Structure 1
Amino acid sequence: MTKYFSPISSIWRNSKRVIGMLQKSDPRTLRALSAVRVLSSTLPYLNGFILGMMTQSVVESVKLGSLTSQFWWAMFLIVATPVVIRIVDIFNDYLDGKYWIEMDNYMQLMYFKKRSALDIAAIKKPEIQNKARKAQESINKTRQYADRIFYSIGSLAGLTTAFAIFSTQNWWIFPVVVLATIPSLIVETKYGRKIWDIWGANTETRRKYNYFIDRLNDPENLSENKLLGTVNYFLKAIRETIGQFTLDQIRTDRNAVPARIFSAILSHGTTAGMIVIFAIRAARGQITVGELTFFYVTLQTLRKSISEIFSLTARQLQDNLYISDLFALLDQEPILIKPINPVTIAKNTTPDITLSKISFAYPSAPDKFVLQNISLAIPAGSRVALIGHNGAGKSTLLSMIFRFYDPDNGEVRIGEHDLRELDLENWYSHLGYIPQKYQFFQLRTADVIALGDTSTQPDERRIKQAAMKAGADTFINSWNKKYDQILGEWFEGGINISQGQMQKLALARIFYRNPRIWILDEPTSSIDAKSEIEVFEELNALPKDRTVIFISHRFSTVRNADQIVVLDKGKIKEQGTHRELVKKGGLYATLFKQQAKAYK
């Protein structure tokens, strides 16, 4: 029994959650739409009664040789009913359109809010990425799922009306019609589950498919692939991945055709048989022609209502699996444990940062430690440079400070507190970060800079000061629209800018933010030498209570750091000032000499 009731109970649970979301988005429109759907589903039975009344009044008028009062009432109702039905449909269309616009917005925001709330450790896990992909694909399904709830409510109201009609006489009709449509429910449920299994099993493949599409969809990616001659490679990859998750679905749909034909014949054949029975009774004078017409329309409407309910239920059973995917993401807990009583750092405070015996391996490769026994003290107000070969662990070390992950061993202390005790949102408000792959915001230039601090309204004076410190003011003022210039080509009037200009705007965002702790990953990699010197002069001119941590492969930018940390294979190889490390003659000195030689 569990096999059969478990899906129904799951639909019930998910339907309650969906209705809860509907109520939150717009409760008044929800109530109005529900009432209109109920009214819309009962009107066809009223229409059948009026048709029967009209038919009988015509027969009576023929017998009497004159038009009876019943005939004129029937004519009035025949004219008025379609108008009423049309008015109800207009209201239904209006409320439906209004509600689903708001519902779509609500669902999209809810999805992105939840996804944004997850920690980086969770977001980067492949299984959670698959879960997020399923959830995003389920958003449209959720609208359809909710819409069918409305239709089901309306159809149930129609069934109640039909049951009341047949309960006084011919009570057996109702259960016979229900039984005749059950095979359709079984068929749709069975094959719906198979379709979901196909899509569920191919989530990873569909992620690859979307990745391949992006190689040819994004203008920058497409430009590079044209030059590399890899367009045909990705076209082939797209074609192959499409085939992997569509062929099984086509095969399943083909196998379902005979069963669907059988269930349709059974349902329509049963209804036709009962209509024949009523026609025979009318021919024998046991019921009137008007009653025959009424029963004919009512039977057709009843069969349609039951078929709709079973069809809706079958589709709900199919989409319920997708809705469960959405709720699986909404119920996903962060991997990192949040403190019960989080500690906050005072706004104008720059705390010390201390890493003590940190070891860490990414969850995807738990046996490969990227950081090994790292101990590092970063006093407030110091300038610390992290250098080393690619893959040495520099960016991972920053991830520990951000608490994107928790270390497997050791601890990160911020001031007097373990980082795990801190309120992360408060901690992040003290940080200013430029990643190696920074974002290119295709917005108004002033807004791009002001994104550095969204806690207040954009300040034009601060925006211009930040641009000047980052060396971006020169090229901004050369544009006709200056700070009102739209960047990129997504929007009308936008312009493309160079990588160096993008990086200067990224730096301007951080100057605008004016954080207590600056964390910069290759902050001048795309900037010319003169601009680089000017940027670091601005960084050196920061107040003495500001901490600066930066990663760079250019020794010209690291030599003035208070502390240079050389990482190699996840370990601190050397540590000291530029003078100390050159004198030591170790890895730093070797790398410095190699780079200096290249400039001779």
Structure 2
Amino acid sequence: MMMSHDEQESIESLSLLNVVRSFRYWPRIFQLLWKVSAKDLICFSILNLIQGFLPALSIMATQQLINNITSTQEKILGAFLFFIAVSIFFGAVSIYQSYFESLYQAKLSNYTNVIIMEKASRLTLADFENSQVQDQLKRVQTDSGYRPFQITKQIFGIASNLISLVSMISIVMIWNWWAALLLILIPVISFFSFLRIGRQEFVIQWKRAPKSRSAWYLSYLLTRDNSFKEVKLYTLGSYFVKQYRKICEDFFAEDKLLAGKRLKYSVVYKLIDNLSSYSIIFLAVISAYRGQLPIGNVVGIFQSISQVQGRSDSIVQQVLGLCQNNLFLEQLFSFLDIDSTERERLQERSEIKEINKIEFRDVSFRYQGKQQYALKNINFTLEQGQTVAIVGHNGSGKSTLIKILLQLYAQTKGQILINDLPIQEINDVSYQKRVGAVFQDFVQYEMPVRQNIGYGNIGEVDNDQRIAEAASNAGIDTLIENLPNKLDTQLGRWFEHGHQLSGGQWQRIAIARAFMRDADVYILDEPSSFLDPEAERDVFERFHDLIKNRIGIFISHRLSSVNFADQIWVMEEGEIVEMGTHAELMARNQTYARLYRLQADAYSTNVSAV
């Protein structure tokens, strides 16, 4: 899943060997490029290869034109027409290359973002709660819009420049072989100097991911409406801006240091490169003065030297950039390979069409990296027609139990049976389709009402009747009728014409979303957190009617609302310590009875005070 210690060291000690190793991803990148658009890839490849031959062809056309100035009119005309044809062809290739590049860049960027989103949608909740996975996701998301195309352009750019380099060095080599060798040798030496800078740049970018996420979160807090009220009240805005500015300043200081090192290497390299080029040009001029070279050939050599310098610089920078981008590829494919067999395993599991029975046998669970168990030896059986309420203090394990039941986490120990079949043998997707749930931290989609409810059963998102039934079951049919555009009313304040709801109305929307699903199991996790007592009673009564002949589970802190449940479970420190009806638990006079009386006394005291 994550990078090993050896891979971390590999990044820290980027060398020529590491660079060579990084090319192992080339087959996969070409597979990706082919999937994006085979036709555009072929056109892009051909145009880049042609582009590689054109500079040398242009130099030859110029050289021929100058050498034929003193020849016959027919030869001058022929050389001039050849020069024009090469120039026109050069321009046409450049225009079409830019055209295909822009199209292919857009397609590649979109495709890469889509496969990252698809992969993210298949991750587990444990993955999303893993900070290292979040850092990895941040790295690939940040660079996914441009890195893949950069890699593509660099690969073909290197090929094109190498063709140009070889062809133009051949022009110089015809005159003087050691001059051609000198033109090649200097860029090769500079490559190893810039490789060190490239390593430092990648390491810095690699280590920035956690701070980059922190900067994003600070910006999120200042621009999100549900956090703005508290930020404003506690005057946190200037503090968050200061923290954000500090991260940006740290990043800038690192960038400035690297830019200084790159500048130093660039000045030294350019000085040596220019001295060698001027020496070769001086020798060419002397040869022409002595009559050993035609003037056209001298001009061709001048142009070749200039082109060799430019192409050499480009190749060095492209190879260095490719080294860094290949390390990005390592991160991209490493992310895409997280649990890569999960889909295959799901396809091999049994489909489930109905949930009749749920059984937990000695189920325990602990979070990754924790020694203490969040759930310990949980045992129960639920069948169709049963309703259970789970109560207990915060942190007692209630929500964790629900996440295990939903298979958002896999149990650490014990066995979960669905219809007497181990849950590991059941396809997760088919199982989760049979469950409707409202989470404590339900989502408020900044979208129209239709989507907010219809997402509970995405296949019915355009079914007005089905959505209306779910809304009625949640008691918000009148609310929707009074909205300006009914089901098509935009909710929230993020987008134009948005209509903001109260917390209780948003919660009922989330409940309607759960009711939208024709499920066998319905779960409400703290469904009354935004509801007043009257609205809460209404929701529970509707819930009770909806779950007849189904399994119903709800979590609540308000013990006065759980009387209708067939059973009440009391949880403490990850264990179910009591089970029974309200009357049975009150008669036992243990944890439930004590909590119930505390809430009743508090309510009575408040009423008396009023």
TM-score class normalised by the smaller sequence: over 0.9
Give, in whole Å, the separation in 2 of the partners of 1:102 and 1:504.
40
Give, in whole Å, the separation in 1 of the partners of 2:147 and 2:470.
46
Equivalent pair of 1:184/1:264 in contact (CA under 8 Å): no
Report what 1:354 is aligned to.
359
Report what 1:131 is aligned to.
136
Report what 1:68 is aligned to.
73
Equivalent pair of 2:359/2:420 in contact (CA under 8 Å): no
1:162 aligns with 2:173: no
1:528 aligns with 2:532: yes
Post-superposition CA distance 1:47-89 (Å, at most 9, x none): 212222222233x16xxxxx72222233334444433222222
Give, in whole Å, the separation in 2 of the partners of 1:340 and 1:581.
41
Give, in whole Å, the separation in 1 of the partners of 2:64 and 2:351.
80
Q: Any residues of structure 2 matched to 1:85-124 within 5 Å, and which?
A: 85-124=90-129
1:274 aligns with 2:280: yes
Report what 1:64 is aligned to.
none
Report what 1:390 is aligned to.
394
Equivalent pair of 1:522/1:552 in contact (CA under 8 Å): yes
Report what 2:514 is aligned to.
510
Report what 2:209 is aligned to.
203
Equivalent pair of 1:338/1:420 in contact (CA under 8 Å): no
Secondary structure at the residue paired with 1:299? helix
1:188 aligns with 2:194: yes
Higher deviation after alignment, 350-359 or 162-171? 162-171
TM-score, normalisation: structure 1: 0.93
Aligned-residue offset at 1:37: 1.5
Equivalent pair of 1:446/1:483 in contact (CA under 8 Å): yes
Cα separation, partners in 2 of 1:7 and 1:313, compared to 1, 3 Å? same
TM-score, normalisation: structure 2: 0.92
From 586, 591, 595, the equivalent of 1:591 is: 595
Give, in whole Å, the separation in 1 of the partners of 2:179 and 2:45.
28
Secondary structure at the residue paired with 1:303? helix
Cα separation, partners in 2 of 1:337 and 1:385, compared to 1, 3 Å? farther
Give, in whole Å, the separation in 2 of the partners of 1:342 and 1:74.
70
Give, in whole Å, the separation in 1 of the partners of 2:542 and 2:53.
75
1:48 aligns with 2:63: no
From 13, 30, 45, the equivalent of 2:24 is: 13
Post-superposition CA distance 1:242-283 (Å, at most 9, x none): 344442332233133222211112223222221211111111
Aligned-residue offset at 1:149: 1.3
Higher deviation after alignment, 95-104 or 144-153? 144-153
Give, in whole Å, the separation in 2 of the partners of 1:191 and 1:40.
30
Unaligned runs of 5+ in 2: 1-12, 605-610
Aligned-residue offset at 1:306: 2.1
Post-superposition CA distance 1:300-319 (Å, at most 9, x none): 21222222112100111222
Cα separation, partners in 2 of 1:152 and 1:337, compared to 1, 3 Å? closer
Report what 1:487 is aligned to.
491
Report what 2:471 is aligned to.
467
Report what 1:315 is aligned to.
321
Equivalent pair of 1:353/1:378 in contact (CA under 8 Å): yes
Equivalent pair of 1:131/1:325 in contact (CA under 8 Å): yes
Give, in whole Å, the separation in 1 of the partners of 2:407 and 2:75.
81
Give, in whole Å, the separation in 2 of the partners of 1:221 and 1:575.
39
Cα separation, partners in 2 of 1:4 and 1:241, compared to 1, 3 Å? closer
Cα separation, partners in 2 of 1:390 and 1:340, compared to 1, 3 Å? closer
Cα separation, partners in 2 of 1:337 and 1:292, compared to 1, 3 Å? closer
Give, in whole Å, the separation in 2 of the partners of 1:354 and 1:338.
26
From 406, 415, 419, the equivalent of 1:415 is: 419
Give, in whole Å, the separation in 1 of the partners of 2:490 and 2:14.
58
Post-superposition CA distance 1:149-202 (Å, at most 9, x none): 121122122234335545655333433211011232112211110111222233
Give, in whole Å, the separation in 2 of the partners of 1:337 and 1:50.
59
Aligned-residue offset at 1:97: 1.0
Give, in whole Å, the separation in 2 of the partners of 1:110 and 1:275.
52
Matched to 1:161, the amino acid is: S
Aligned-residue offset at 1:528: 3.2
Matched to 2:187, the amino acid is: T
From 255, 263, 275, the equivalent of 2:261 is: 255
Aligned-residue offset at 1:456: 4.7
Higher deviation after alignment, 218-227 or 577-586? 218-227
Aligned-residue offset at 1:405: 2.4
Post-superposition CA distance 1:448-478 (Å, at most 9, x none): 2111112356211111111111111111111
Give, in whole Å, the separation in 2 of the partners of 1:340 and 1:567.
32
1:178 aligns with 2:184: yes
Higher deviation after alignment, 284-293 or 581-590? 581-590
Secondary structure at the residue paired with 1:489? coil
Secondary structure at the residue paired with 2:361? strand
Give, in whole Å, the separation in 1 of the partners of 2:343 and 2:39.
39
Cα separation, partners in 2 of 1:131 and 1:377, compared to 1, 3 Å? same
Cα separation, partners in 2 of 1:146 and 1:581, compared to 1, 3 Å? same
Report what 1:436 is aligned to.
440
Aligned-residue offset at 1:336: 8.3
Matched to 1:162, the amino acid is: M
Aligned-residue offset at 1:421: 2.2
Give, in whole Å, the separation in 2 of the partners of 1:183 and 1:241.
36
Equivalent pair of 2:23/2:326 in contact (CA under 8 Å): no
Equivalent pair of 1:51/1:294 in contact (CA under 8 Å): yes
Cα separation, partners in 2 of 1:219 and 1:538, compared to 1, 3 Å? closer
Aligned-residue offset at 1:21: 0.7
1:537 aligns with 2:537: no
Post-superposition CA distance 1:198-239 (Å, at most 9, x none): 222333222222222222132322332011111122122212
1:227 aligns with 2:233: yes
Matched to 1:187, the amino acid is: S
Secondary structure at the residue paired with 1:52? helix
Give, in whole Å, the separation in 1 of the partners of 2:291 and 2:75.
21
Give, in whole Å, the separation in 2 of the partners of 1:51 and 1:24.
42
Give, in whole Å, the separation in 2 of the partners of 1:473 and 1:49.
79
Equivalent pair of 1:181/1:266 in contact (CA under 8 Å): no
From 387, 396, 403, the equivalent of 1:399 is: 403
From 543, 548, 554, the equivalent of 2:552 is: 548
Higher deviation after alignment, 498-507 or 233-242? 233-242
1:285 aligns with 2:291: yes
Aligned-residue offset at 1:35: 1.0
What is the root-mean-square deviation of aligned Cα atoms in Å? Answer: 2.3
